[in-house]
């Protein structure tokens, strides 16, 4: 039963938005990454993302990462400039040692800007981290 499932809080996980040079298209792109700074591997990471405001809503994007090892990061998706003008929400569910966890990240509209980029040492990249 749904009421019997215990979903726990998880620390050490961040959503990082970077401004990365794309070698194929020779342009800078905003890219969302998932950074696992915990000492646990994350298994079967399911990610749903969407952008929204009062008048508009994007389609829901779905992603899966089979394993996100401890101390590593993985690319989630490219974020188009017009989507960053909306609020963005990333909802995750994943397993750690056979325990189910959920985590949500909220990226308020118009907060992702070049002036807010900081060095993310664990990734050796400049980005904006959301906890």
What is the pLDDT at residue 25? 87
Neighbouring-strand partners of residue 130: 15
Helix (H, G, I), strand (E, B) or coil at 39: coil
- What SS3 class is residue 109? coil
Distance CA 88, CA 53 (A): 9
Q: What angle do CA 92, 129, 127 make, to 5 degrees?
A: 120
As given in the structure block, the two tokens for residue 26 are 């020779």
Contact 123, 33 (CB under 8 A): yes
> What 3-state class would DSSP assign to 108?
coil
Q: Is a pLDDT exceeding 90 seen at residue 7?
A: no
Domain that holds residue 125: 2-130
**pTM (2 d.p.):** 0.92
C-alpha gyration radius of the chain: 15
pLDDT in tens, 54-89: 999 999 999 999 999 999 999 999 999 999 999 999
Assign residue 95 the CATH number of its domain. Answer: 2.60.40.1600
The number of domains in the chain is 1
């Amino acid at each position: 039963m749904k009421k019997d499932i215990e979903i726990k809080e998880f620390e050490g996980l961040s959503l990082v938005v970077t401004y990365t040079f794309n070698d194929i298209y020779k342009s800078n792109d905003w890219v969302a990454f998932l950074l696992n700074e915990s000492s646990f591997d994350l298994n079967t990471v399911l990610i749903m993302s969407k952008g929204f405001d009062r008048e508009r809503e994007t389609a829901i994007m779905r992603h899966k990462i089979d394993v996100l090892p401890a101390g590593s990061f993985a690319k989630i998706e490219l974020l188009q400039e017009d989507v960053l003008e909306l609020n963005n929400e990333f909802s995750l569910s994943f397993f750690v040692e056979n325990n189910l966890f959920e985590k949500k990240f909220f990226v308020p509209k118009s907060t992702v800007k070049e002036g807010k980029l900081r060095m993310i040492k664990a990734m050796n990249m400049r980005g904006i981290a959301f906890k």
